[in-house]
Amino acid sequence: MYPINGRVILHVDMNSFYASVEVAYDPSLKGKPLAIAGNPEERRGIIVTCSYEARALGVKATMPLWEAKRLCPNLIIKTPNFDRYRKASLEMFEYLRTYTDLVQPVSIDEGYMDISDCYNLGTPYEIAQKIQKELQDNLKLPSSIGIAPNKFLAKMASDMKKPLGITILRKRDVEKVLWPLPVAEMHGVGTKTAEKLKPIHITTIGDLANANEIQIKAILGINGERLKQRANGIDERVVDPDAIFEFKSIGNSTTLPEDTTDEEILYGVLRRLADSVSRRLKRKESLARTIQIVIRYYDRKTITRSKKLENPVVEAKDVYEVALQLWKKHWNEEPVRLIGITTMDLIEKKDAFKQLDLFSYEEDAKKEPLFNTIEKLQSKFGKDVIKKGITAKTEESKTKGTSFNKDFLQSREDS
């Protein structure tokens, strides 16, 4: 059960996590159709997640609240309580680390474990059974677990039996178990990539596994080569406990109360999003080298456009300026339903550099004496004695916009 030269990887995936946490907090909700959703009074309310009882009645994530209520009139609606979910997530990962230090969270409700050296605790299946049982008994949280020789196969395995499933997927099972599946069901592919593969007659994971590598690379770039390897069960990535801290983007989006073409309203939303993103960049002590905007129109058509910057930015006014340029260039003046700003290609503040040009040189030169003073103080008393500007622990909005960054790992005092 424990290969001599290989690895044993678990992918632990919590089932309907937000809803399960609410049931753990209030046992009277157990067995009832429950959904976590946005403000029920606003049109923007959508289902974030729901219990399996609700799913059995057709309710699913991303469904508008009004549609979910039509399918399930007795649906219980809870607004998200992120402090509660963060606390449960931290407890869950703390428990997983009692087995091994090689635990890599990938989101608030899922993570990988490398248990290759845990042979004294039982077989991989026995360990998975114990983890699943104790998460259920002690935290009241159901989970599904995949067992495999690498991260990709473990992830695919954990999706095969939900809720409360345990699945073993070996490399020798790939051709029989994975290849017949639609390529869109493969982790890392999704609907949009599957659509790109249709013209070259790749519709199953097996088709992708046996596809012409040059052709795949021409369509999907370097990611195509990687996906072909995954389809063949090959994945050399290690379980890295520190990988969660390597964030690549920070963004926020918001759905408007009603579709609009009013530029005053739209520009106001852009400013608020730029402010929010800037605050989060500062909190992470990072700068962005790429700005992206998302525009979703009244008919749900969505476009994303981005701009690579010569100099990294962090201030709200700079984020807004670039977002506004993109907006003016790409908005087709049709009614807008959702707007988003995402900063990408991030660099830590301590590693950032600014390429001085004709326009910024004079302003930077004026600040040089201040920079020199700060540098001398840091040299004498340590780099954290003083910093340009103020790094404050600001509380971000819990209601406006949507964020998928991995902020759940911040301590509760930092949230």
Burial class (CB in 10 A: 0-12, 13-18, 19+), 227: buried
265 secondary structure, DSSP code: H
Q: Could you tell me how many residues make up the chain?
A: 415
Q: DSSP 3-state assignment of 105?
A: strand
DSSP assignment of 206-242 equals: HHHHTS-HHHHHHHHTHHHHHHHHHHTT-------TT
User: Does the active-site annotation cover 175?
Assistant: no
> Closest Cα partner for 235 from 165, 180, 169?
169
CA angle 188, 189, 191 (to 5 degrees): 135
Cα→Cα distances 302→26, 197, 260, 339, Å: 38, 21, 15, 10
- Residues 104 and 127: their CA atoms lie apart, in Å, by 17
- Residues 10 and 54: their CA atoms lie apart, in Å, by 28
User: Active site residue: 110, 134, 246, 310, which one?
Assistant: 110
- Residues 223 and 189: their CA atoms lie apart, in Å, by 10
- Residues 284 and 244: their CA atoms lie apart, in Å, by 13
- Residues 103 and 121: their CA atoms lie apart, in Å, by 16
Name the residue type at position 351.
D
13 is in an annotated binding site: yes
- Residues 302 and 299: their CA atoms lie apart, in Å, by 9
- Residues 89 and 84: their CA atoms lie apart, in Å, by 9
> Burial code of 195-217, b = ≥16 C-beta within 10 A, e = fewer?
eebeeeebebbbbbbebeeeebb
Q: DSSP 3-state assignment of 162?
A: coil
SS3 of the chain: helix, strand, coil, percent, to 5: 45, 20, 35
Q: Are 378 and 386 in contact (CB under 8 A)?
A: yes
**Binding site per annotation, positions for Mg(2+):** 13, 109
Active site residues: 110
**Binding site per annotation, positions:** 13, 109
